[in-house]
Amino acid sequence: MLNSFMYFGDIKNNSADSIDFETLLFQLLMDFTKFSSNIKLSFRFKFNHKSKIYFNKIQLKRVIINLLINAIETMNNHGEIWIETQELSLKDQNFIQITFGNSNSYIEDQYLDKLFELSFTMGKENGNSIGLYSVKSIINSFGGNIKCLSSKNIGTEFIFTVPKINQLKSNEFSYLLPKNSVNIIEYKNLKMIKNNNTTQSKIIKFINLNFKRMSILILEDCEVYLKSIQSIMYKSMQIYKSDIYFYTANNYHDAVKICDKENPQIIITDIDLKDMLHDGFEFNKYIRKKNDDTYIFVHTNHIFSEERSFELGVILFRYVEKFT
């Protein structure tokens, strides 16, 4: 559920860090969990800044994630996203201007000034406007500004300023940034296979210490990740001669049907699903009402998952990170 990424918590923390923008951007894109086979995006980057950004790192991550999610949702999962930078001085202060643009979307002029209002959703289904409102609040809290431009021929751009610091940035990750969303999926799969500290290895270790026969349900809406985690776990379990049976589902409703019929002992679930009304938290609450003995693993890179599980009263066995 993309909207759950837009949960912000407290935006009052304005302690600042020295940030290399390309490094941060590379990490966020490679960790972003919503790139799947049905999302066809290309990326274009043009960096014309030489200095580091002076901003709170967590808050800047939230700004970028929200703009990325907003772009994907408005461009119907296909098109081009471009990110450009330049240095500028405003009222004797030095800033880096960042442009975050996407094709396949258009916002009429009459709505441009209202986008950042808390109550404005422009008719978006399940929209709550918190994302862009919080983006503006965060940027303003560090002395920057944000505006939106939109054209039927080009697309939509969010242009914002952040303070810079007199430290030279690194160019190490500029050449590693992905050209498209397929590159990100391929990178994730390769790293998952090589990484011995992945979700699979943690769960496999737990299973082998506690079970010799078991049934496992994997709920994951990314087909590539679903097949990868099932394949790697199955091969690893064979080494330990465990008797294992897998059930898989890519949505809340199929997962519920499997649980009602098969009653799996172990559940591995993602948090963000394509169903805007039912996410992994809702699924976990359903399971807990049905069976308190099920072992539920949540595999996610969601920044706020553990905090929100307590807030929503969700009882989980363990959080394990997706490959990073």
pTM of the model: 0.58
The last residue of a domain, from among 143, 161, 182:
182
B/e letters for 115-141, b = 16+ CB within 10 Å, e = fewer, are: bbeeebbeeeeebebbbbbbbbbbbee
Residues of the chain with pLDDT under 50: 1-10, 125-128, 193, 196-197, 303-319, 323-324
CB neighbourhood size of 10 (10 A): 5
253-288 residue pLDDT tens:
999 999 998 888 888 888 777 776 787 778 888 887
pLDDT number for residue 314: 42
pLDDT number for residue 190: 55
**CATH number reported for the structural domain that contains residue 202 in this entry:** 3.40.50.2300
Residues shown for the chain: 324
Clarify whether residues 165 and 249 are in a common domain. Answer: no
Q: How many domains does the chain have?
A: 2
The last residue of a domain, from among 119, 153, 182:
182
pLDDT number for residue 306: 45
Residue 194: what are its φ and ψ, rounded to 5°? -80, -25
The last residue of a domain, from among 147, 182, 217:
182
pLDDT number for residue 301: 56
What 3-state class would DSSP assign to 15? coil
Residue labelled with tokens 């201007």:
97
Which residue range is the domain that position 296 belongs to? Answer: 195-321
Instruction: Give the span between the Cα atoms of 113 and 116, in whole angstroms.
Output: 7
294 assigned to some structural domain: yes
Clarify whether residues 231 and 298 are in a common domain. Answer: yes
pLDDT number for residue 296: 80
pLDDT number for residue 152: 92
167 assigned to some structural domain: yes
